[in-house]
Amino acid sequence: MEFIIHFIHVVFSLLLVNYPFLVKKNTLYDFIYIVLLFTLLYSYIILKGECFISYTIKKYKDPNYVMGSNLSVLNDYSYVFKNVTIASYVIFYIIITLFISSFIILKRYNFINIYYIYLFTILLFTYFVLIKIKTHSMIKFYFNIIFIIYITFLLYRVLTKK
């Protein structure tokens, strides 16, 4: 059962980041993708940098697990690929492709100014850097507030098509 959950996690991640390369422009699907992407980013922020699936697995395995204390998804991916090196490369691919696919989808959706998209991509990159390095908790807290406000602003623009 655990393998199935990890496998679904990996497949979902790969499909999510590769969506703009697999599906040609479709306003409805792109809209759903953007809402899903922003929802995932909200959940990452709320869960202190953890993926919902990874956090659920960690909490199930260890009821005393503290949210945000182990942000690595390497164990999840290693469980599927049976190799830490391959799992590391896949995670790196997913993160890099997420930046690119987010940019592509927001750009092709055409309701958001290109400067907003550039800023979003920079903030998304900064978010992942801040959760990976040792950063003072107040810096992360204030950045997360700014990022949530910006994501909400973009979501508003997408929903109202302004």
Residue 21 in any domain: the answer is: yes
Taking the C-alpha atoms of residue 59 and residue 104, their distance in angstroms, rounded to an integer, is 34
The mean per-residue pLDDT over the stretch 125-143 comes to 84
Taking the C-alpha atoms of residue 140 and residue 160, their distance in angstroms, rounded to an integer, is 30
Backbone region of residue 131 per phi and psi (left: phi > 0; alpha: psi in -120 to 50; beta: other values): alpha
Top pLDDT among 16 and 84 is at 16
Q: What is the dihedral of CA 101, 107, 109, 113, to 10 degrees?
A: 140
The mean per-residue pLDDT over the stretch 20-43 comes to 90
Nearest to 39 by CA among 52, 58, 28: 52
Give the tens place of pLDDT for each residue, 91-124: 889 989 988 998 888 888 776 788 888 899 899 8
Q: What is the mean pLDDT of the chain?
A: 86
Query: Tell me, what's the pLDDT at 136?
Result: 79
Residue 122 in any domain: the answer is: yes
Identity at 134, one-letter amino acid code: K
Top pLDDT among 70 and 160 is at 160
Query: Tell me, what's the pLDDT at 162?
Result: 63
Query: Tell me, what's the pLDDT at 95?
Result: 86
Can you give the C-alpha Rg of the chain in angstroms?
16
Nearest to 77 by CA among 149, 148, 12: 12
pLDDT at residue 151 is higher than 70: yes
Q: Look at the chain and report how many structural domains it folds into.
A: 1
Using pLDDT thresholds of 50, 70 and 90, give the confidence band for residue 150: very high
Please give the structure tokens belonging to residue 8: 């679904």
Residue 109 in any domain: the answer is: yes
**Do the beta carbons of residue 3 and residue 79 sit within 8 Å?**
yes
Nearest to 18 by CA among 83, 118, 84, 90: 90
Residue 45 in any domain: the answer is: yes
Domain boundaries, position 123: 12-56+92-160
Residue 74 in any domain: the answer is: no
